[in-house]
Amino acid sequence: MQAKLTIDLDAICKNWRALDALSGQTVETAAVIKADAYGLGADVVGPALKTAGVKTFFVAQAEEGVVLRQAIGAGPRIFNFSGLMAGDAAALAEYDVIPVLNSAEQIAAFTGGPCAVQFDTGMNRLGMEPADAARLRDEITALAPELILSHLACADEPAHKMNAAQLAEFVAMTASFPKIKKSLSATGGVLLGGDFHFDITRPGIGLYGGLPFENAAPVVQLDLPVIQTREVKTGETVGYGNSWTAQKPSKIATVSGGYADGILRSAASASLFADDIACPVIGRISMDLITVDVSGLETVPPMLSLLNSVQTVDVLAGHAGTIGYEILTGLGARYKRRYIGGS
């Protein structure tokens, strides 16, 4: 029996609609579907979002754009954040993927066609700095880009002074391009309010049930099969390193799953669930197996859930000392994937 990963396409679309509703009617809400739709399957998630009304997608690599275009067909725009990398031009052209040009070098190498341009407003990651943008104003104008965008560094911290600083910088840098549409905000920026929305928002993690979108509907459920149960006596140990010792007679379930499946070893303070009953993980999470204290259950079910509406990706991430993005994008290949909704 395989572990089962259930992905709720209706919840993803509901989250997109909820984020879309936070901006004005003149603002388009796109969808970021990079990293295989944050680990959930761009070839399935993409068509569901297209049906829901998404007209613009963003990916991180040309290869992701090719996969998405093959899944959603003609029509919606696909922007590639990494722009024009060596060897990408033919695939971008063939599959109608729009490069986001990030530097003077990428602009010089671009031979024409639809494009976008990214400005760096202080994150110092991708995009042209103010001096380059000013120097290349005429060249950028001549390209007639479909979009000028930038990215917020601290949008998940609404009170952070960097948000206002980047907003002011973006307004200043784009003032010379009044006719070109603009985009500054991912999920966190959407939640910062209308001043940050401009013409297009591009939520990512919020679509998939993650923070900072606290009102997101849960998207994933992960159920792990129970391989064996056993009774252990007081003083007996479980797992590698004898890291857990029974303080009383206990019933232990061993379930199929581990760090080979993207379940981080550092999440050992998490629980698995039988319906709404929490069963704590005990001992170390190993490559293929997790041990769980099921002493509180009258009957041990065939499967216990690790991700659900109670222990969401961000709750699990908190146990692991990381963020929900890492939990989602790390979900392994051994799960039997089941998609619900989206029709």
Question: What's the pLDDT band for 342 if we cut at 50, 70, 90?
Answer: confident
Q: What is the pLDDT of residues 236-289, one digit of tens each?
A: 999 999 999 999 999 999 999 999 999 999 999 999 999 999 999 999 999 999
By the 8 A CB rule, do 147 and 200 touch? yes
Q: What is the pTM of this model?
A: 0.95
Verify whether residue 50 is a known catalytic residue. no
Whole-Å CA distances, 320 to 69, 159, 263, 268: 35, 26, 9, 7
Does residue 75 have a pLDDT over 80?
yes
Question: What's the pLDDT band for 86 if we cut at 50, 70, 90?
Answer: confident
Verify whether residue 34 is a known catalytic residue. yes
Does residue 1 have a pLDDT over 90?
no
- Which tokens is 59 given? 């990916």
Helix boundaries (H) for the chain: 9-20, 34-38, 42-52, 62-72, 89-94, 104-109, 130-135, 137-143, 161-174, 187-192, 313-320, 324-329
Q: What is the pLDDT of residues 192-240, one digit of tens each?
A: 999 999 999 999 999 999 999 999 999 999 999 999 999 999 999 999 9
* Predicted pLDDT at 343: 62
Percent of the chain with pLDDT over 90: 97
User: Which of 4, 14, 34, 233 is the catalytic position?
Assistant: 34
User: Which of 38, 233, 240, 339 is the catalytic position?
Assistant: 240
Kindly give, in sequence order, each residue whose CB lies less than 8 Å from that of residue 284, ignoring residues fewer than 6 positions away.
239, 240, 241, 243, 265, 268
**Structural domains in the chain plus CATH codes:** 9-208 (3.20.20.10), 220-340 (2.40.37.10)
Q: What is the pLDDT of residues 119-154, one digit of tens each?
A: 999 999 999 999 999 999 999 999 999 999 999 999
* Predicted pLDDT at 228: 97
The C-alpha atoms of residue 106 and residue 104 are separated, in whole angstroms, by 5
The C-alpha atoms of residue 311 and residue 272 are separated, in whole angstroms, by 8
